[in-house]
């Protein structure tokens, strides 16, 4: 059987990296559609357009405030005009990056991503997510190829609040464990529909090591606009290593659970990365991991503020019926099959309850003191 490892054509990271956007765009075409939500467009739109125009690339703009629905994609495509652009440049966070990918898919052209936050690994991925009008996950779609270039300007990303980087760390911390499960599952498949190569697992392990070592120091630099060496390493881990690790290495329980958690009351408002972080604890419970591994992960969560229990996701009183509903939705995710054994709703509910009880037990001595 063939195996596939996918990646962006170029990844550029560092303070001031945005200054090379024009030359990367010019390699692809001479007419770019610049896509961002309105806040990001107001913040960097002129700067991005100027970089492109200095390189001989004309730009048009499409901005929005709504959730990414098929209707929004159709509207933005109409607003872009009748002529197909040569490329799409998507700037911002996950929603803006996904909107750019959706438009690139619509027009059948390459996409360049310019993340302004490190809240997830969408900039390196070929995947994008569409929602319905009620903001429920509708579909996960795929570009034919990964982004042409990723331009990660860490001076820009370091202006974003620490909460955004925390979400990125939560999204990335699971990738090593998920890739491991995908590799060991008999039917495990990565996002290209093939068995994973060793390179993806190696990147996922490196991602985990960086986060364990540097997450705290990187969070201290977030929001200052002044990237430190630790901040640079964590941005690389959350955007590049995490993106390559999940797409070519595969996902598992931690990400499958977001299908269910995102449908539950207040938990639906929790950032994707925080849902994933809780999902990882559930996955480790299902793996029956030795205590040392779990203790190390839980200790990091406590130090930096990732969720240890359902209350941390806004569900202090989750009912059995709600947990079962979340479990049943999660079983529909394709990643659920990337696991060492077949699971059912009872397994997921029991694991979520066990994780919650373990966290509450850990917190009792701290509260008593």
Residue 55 belongs to domain with CATH number: 3.40.50.1970
pLDDT of 356: 96
Report yes or no on 55 lying in a domain. yes
Report yes or no on 71 lying in a domain. yes
Q: Whose CA is closest to 155, among 91, 221, 101?
A: 221
Low-confidence ranges of the chain (pLDDT < 50): 369
Shared domain for 207 and 121, answered yes or no, is: no
Q: What long-range pairs does 306-309 form, CB within 8 A, spacing at least 24?
A: 306/166, 306/169, 306/170, 306/173, 306/274, 306/277, 307/170, 307/270, 307/274, 307/277, 307/278, 308/278, 308/281, 308/355, 308/359, 308/362, 308/363, 309/278, 309/355, 309/356, 309/359, 309/360, 309/363
Shared domain for 43 and 63, answered yes or no, is: yes
**If you count them, how many residues does the chain have?**
369
Report yes or no on 212 lying in a domain. yes
Cα Rg of the chain (Å, integer): 20
Write down which residue in 125, 157, 189 finishes a domain: 157
Report yes or no on 5 lying in a domain. no
Domain carrying residue 52: 10-157
Report yes or no on 181 lying in a domain. yes
pLDDT of 265: 81
Question: Sign (positive/negative) of CA torsion 356, 358, 361, 366?
Answer: negative
- Beta partners for residue 62, in sequence order: 35
Write down which residue in 157, 186, 208 finishes a domain: 157
Q: Domain containing 268 — which CATH number?
A: 1.20.1090.10
- Beta partners for residue 3, in sequence order: 195
Shared domain for 128 and 189, answered yes or no, is: no
Count of CB atoms situated within 10 Å of the CB of 147: 28
Shared domain for 99 and 232, answered yes or no, is: no
Shared domain for 92 and 177, answered yes or no, is: no
Q: What percent of the chain has pLDDT over 90?
A: 90
Cα angle vertex 281, ends 343, 6, to 5°?
75
Residue position matching structure tokens 């107001």: 42
Beta strands at 58-64 and 31-37: parallel, antiparallel or unpaired: parallel
Report yes or no on 184 lying in a domain. yes
Shared domain for 88 and 149, answered yes or no, is: yes
DSSP E strands, 116-218: 127-131, 137-142, 149-152
Residue position matching structure tokens 């697992």: 201
Shared domain for 38 and 106, answered yes or no, is: yes
- Beta partners for residue 36, in sequence order: 63
Shared domain for 206 and 344, answered yes or no, is: yes
pLDDT of 367: 53
Shared domain for 338 and 225, answered yes or no, is: yes
Shared domain for 208 and 86, answered yes or no, is: no
Shared domain for 320 and 289, answered yes or no, is: yes
pLDDT of 41: 97
Question: What are the C-alpha distances in Å from 201 to residues 46, 69, 165, 210, 247?
Answer: 39, 33, 23, 14, 11
Q: What 3-state class would DSSP assign to 135? A: coil
Q: How many domains does the chain have?
A: 2
Q: Whose CA is closest to 103, among 166, 9, 36?
A: 36
pLDDT of 366: 53
Write down which residue in 112, 138, 157 finishes a domain: 157
Q: What is the dihedral of CA 142, 143, 149, 150, to 10 degrees?
A: -20
Q: What 3-state class would DSSP assign to 91? A: strand
Report yes or no on 323 lying in a domain. yes
Shared domain for 66 and 111, answered yes or no, is: yes
Return the structure tokens found at 48. Answer: 């991005």
Report yes or no on 369 lying in a domain. no
């Amino acid at each position: 059987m063939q195996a596939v490892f996918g990646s962006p054509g170029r990844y550029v990271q560092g303070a001031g990296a945005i200054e090379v956007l024009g030359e990367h765009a010019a390699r692809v075409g001479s007419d770019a559609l610049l896509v961002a939500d309105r806040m990001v467009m107001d913040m960097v739109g002129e700067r991005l357009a100027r970089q492109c125009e200095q390189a001989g690339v004309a730009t048009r703009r499409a901005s929005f405030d709504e959730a990414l629905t098929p209707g929004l994609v159709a509207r933005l495509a109409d607003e872009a005009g009748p002529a197909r652009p040569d490329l799409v440049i998507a700037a911002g966070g996950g929603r803006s990056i996904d909107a750019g990918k959706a438009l690139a898919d619509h027009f059948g052209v390459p996409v360049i991503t310019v993340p302004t936050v490190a809240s997830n690994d969408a900039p390196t991925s070929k995947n994008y997510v569409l929602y319905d009008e009620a903001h429920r996950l509708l579909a996960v779609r795929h570009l034919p190829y990964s982004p042409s270039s990723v331009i990660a300007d860490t001076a820009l990303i370091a202006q974003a609040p620490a909460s955004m980087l925390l979400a990125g760390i939560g999204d990335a911390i699971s990738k090593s464990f998920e890739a491991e499960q995908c590799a060991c599952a008999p039917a495990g498949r990565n996002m290209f529909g093939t068995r994973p190569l060793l390179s993806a697992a190696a990147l996922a392990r490196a991602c985990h090591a960086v986060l364990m070592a540097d997450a705290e120091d990187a969070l201290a630099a977030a929001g200052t606009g002044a990237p430190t060496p630790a901040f640079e390493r964590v941005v690389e881990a959350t955007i590049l290593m995490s993106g390559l690790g999940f797409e070519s290495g595969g996902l598992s329980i931690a990400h499958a659970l977001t299908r269910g958690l995102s449908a539950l009351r207040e938990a639906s408002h929790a950032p994707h990365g925080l849902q994933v972080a809780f999902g990882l604890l559930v996955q480790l419970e299902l793996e029956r991991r030795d205590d040392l591994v779990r203790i190390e992960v839980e200790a990091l969560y406590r130090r930096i503020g990732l969720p240890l229990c359902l209350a941390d996701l806004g569900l202090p009183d989750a009912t059995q019926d709600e947990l079962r509903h979340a479990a049943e939705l999660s079983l529909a995710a394709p990643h659920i099959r990337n696991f060492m054994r077949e699971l059912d709703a009872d397994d997921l509910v029991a694991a979520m309850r066990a994780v919650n009880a373990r966290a509450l037990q850990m917190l009792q001595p701290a509260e008593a003191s």
